[in-house]
Amino acid sequence: MRGKMPCKPAYDFGGRGVYTILIKVNASAFIEVGKLGRFKFSGLYSYTGSALGMGSSSLNGRVSRHLGLRSQKRLRWHIDYLLENPLVRVEGVITSISETKSKECQISKNIFNLAGSPPPVRKFGATDCSCESHLARLKGNPDRAVPTIVEAHIRAGLKPITVPNSRFPESAVSL
């Protein structure tokens, strides 16, 4: 043995594309979301973003950063404020390969249509587009929410891959 073997191999989330992170807030929590203000969170949420570059701006780079697998020097995106909170846990990630930024918005709109609940925080993750929000509140448990997100990607003309948190490297699970 030449050194420590990791518990699980690092997962490769892919090249350019769009992603939805399913998170659960395990209690009622007031969380400050940058300039948007302080909001009460509880239950399941999905956040949809895009990663259309290379390296740290690729799906693998961006999603790994969100999962805490890469060092995070500062809070940059709205979702960072949720993910750094100890009450927030990532339940899964749904990714689709795409070169088109507007797919991010289409998926967000589809999730709102399918979930039927109003945006919990206006303009969350949507400062550079006309969407009301890229954060959606979902009812039920993760097992019920994942198919909703998958359907939202399919309706945007994409071929989603679901990565449950059991596939993440060990360090991400405790998020």
Q: Which residues bind Zn ion (CB under 5 A)?
A: 105, 126, 129, 131
- Least distance between Zn ion and beta carbon 10 (Å): 30
- Least distance between Zn ion and beta carbon 166 (Å): 30
Q: Where in the chain does DSSP place strands (E)?
A: 17-33, 37-51, 88-97, 135-138, 161-164
Residue number with CB closer to Zn ion (90 or 131): 131
- Least distance between Zn ion and beta carbon 159 (Å): 21
Residue number with CB closer to Zn ion (126 or 136): 126
Distances (CA, A) of 52 to 22, 44, 57, 102, 116: 20, 26, 6, 11, 28
Amino acid at 83: L
CA gap 149, 17 in Å, rounded? 15
Q: What are phi and psi of 58, to 5 degrees?
A: -85, 170
Residue number with CB closer to Zn ion (117 or 127): 127
Residue number with CB closer to Zn ion (80 or 132): 132
* Nearest residue to Zn ion on Cβ basis: 131
Residue number with CB closer to Zn ion (33 or 131): 131
- Least distance between Zn ion and beta carbon 137 (Å): 17
- In Å, the largest CA–CA distance within the chain is 54
- Least distance between Zn ion and beta carbon 133 (Å): 8
CA gap 108, 113 in Å, rounded? 9
